[in-house]
Amino acid sequence: MTEYSRYARGSFVSNGAAEVINLPFQPTTVQLWNYGVYGAPAQHGVASAYWDISLGQGYAMEQVFNATPVLTTDVVTSNGISTFAAGLALQYGPSKQIIGATAANPIVFNVTNHGYSVGTVVVFSGLYQTPTTGMPQIAGMPFVVSAVEDANHFAVVWPGGGSNYTALSGSPAGATVKQVLYPYLYAPGVAFIEAIATGTTTTVTTTAPHNYVVGQEIAFRIPQAWGTTQLNSLPDNAIPGSPIYGYVISVPSSTSFICNINSTGYTAFNTNLVAAPFIGQSFPQVVAVGDVNSGGTPYSGGALYPSPLVNGVPTINGPAISGAFVNNTSQGFIIGTGGGTNDPMSSMVAGDNMIVWVATYG
């Protein structure tokens, strides 16, 4: 170990998907032990795995049970164990060609071997079927993947069945999608609006997780074409120069919240915009303001303030007072799903396994 060595340990219950472990450093070694496999040996069951920075990203050495079952050894050369570090700005995966898309809600996209899962955040580009038709109205907004139908089809929630939306087909030139690798670098950040239900309170649906909490102070930025501009923070006709803010009073889901603004009689929110003029179009947004916007828990005496959460996951930040935005430029390691269903590494993240891990730097 070096003078500046670091050590972290923990455990989690796997759910069948790749597991992301946030740490205050990028490890140079990772060790894993599968409690379930130790207790019930079975073919392809990985009892333990080891990764070292010298192996390269996505590799792993493992102890695995064969058909007998007898413990033996194996190596993984893809989707094994890898490290990551988010930057100060958004980073993206490769652009992938969109073969087609339905004009419906949700919108189902056809992308060969997309590799996305529910919860992945993606951004679309182009989306023109012809120079004046398609669904460019949503190109440039971040969306969370709401469903995965198969290896080539995934869905996002958006009212794509409006009369100004046209289905995509035949792999239109310039119609692409790419993953936002680290979408929650800062929290709560800016959320893009998918729907607004007006009334004595106002219910807002966002295209990706908003990270808001009850008590959040918020402001709206809604361009004229999208309607419901009465929610915008400026101007306040009663008090010129004073912004209009609201407060979150309920959070039904990660992509919806209710605020205390009485929007009865406000202009209806409109997503059925024409496709042609959407180059450089501004999108409807809601942003956090004020002094309760970190997601931290107010101090009540005794223990220190807890580390704030981002999208329900503890960040690597230290104890935090509710206040400023949280810097979530996270780093750590990822336990992948192996190269396929018969790759033994996949058993390390198979559902309901207790995985114990140790990570070190030095």
Residue 194 shares a structural domain with residue 254:
yes
Q: What is the DSSP letter of 180?
A: B
- Which CATH number characterizes residue 284's domain? 2.40.30.180
Q: Average pLDDT for consecutive 10-residue bins of the chain (362 residues)?
A: 76 84 90 92 90 92 91 88 83 94 97 92 95 93 94 96 96 96 81 97 96 86 93 79 86 95 96 76 86 53 63 66 66 80 67 91 88
Task: Spell out the residues 6+ positions from residue 17 whose beta carbon is closer than 8 angstroms to its own.
Answer: 117, 337, 349
How far is Cα 174 from Cα 196, in angstroms, rounded to an integer? 30
pLDDT of residue 123: 97
CA distances (Å), origin 341, targets 41, 51, 159, 346, 348? 18, 21, 35, 7, 12
Give the domain range for residue 21. Answer: 6-86+331-361
Residue 190 shares a structural domain with residue 173:
no
Task: Spell out the residues 6+ positions from residue 183 whose beta carbon is closer than 8 angstroms to its own.
Answer: 90, 121, 142, 208
Residue 107 shares a structural domain with residue 142:
yes
- The answer to whether residue 299 is domain-embedded is no
Residue 82 shares a structural domain with residue 109:
no
How far is Cα 98 from Cα 156, in angstroms, rounded to an integer? 14
Residue 191 shares a structural domain with residue 279:
yes
Residue 197 shares a structural domain with residue 285:
yes
pLDDT of residue 222: 94
- The answer to whether residue 305 is domain-embedded is no
Nearest to 191 by CA among 251, 244, 256: 256
How many other CB atoms are found less than 10 A from the CB of residue 252? 10
- The answer to whether residue 301 is domain-embedded is no
Split into its structural domains, the chain has a count of 3
Residue 60 shares a structural domain with residue 148:
no
- The answer to whether residue 296 is domain-embedded is no
CB 91 within 8 A of CB 119: no
Task: Spell out the residues 6+ positions from residue 154 whose beta carbon is closer than 8 angstroms to its own.
Answer: 108, 109, 111, 114, 116, 145, 147, 148
pLDDT of residue 78: 83
Residue 58 shares a structural domain with residue 153:
no
- The answer to whether residue 191 is domain-embedded is yes
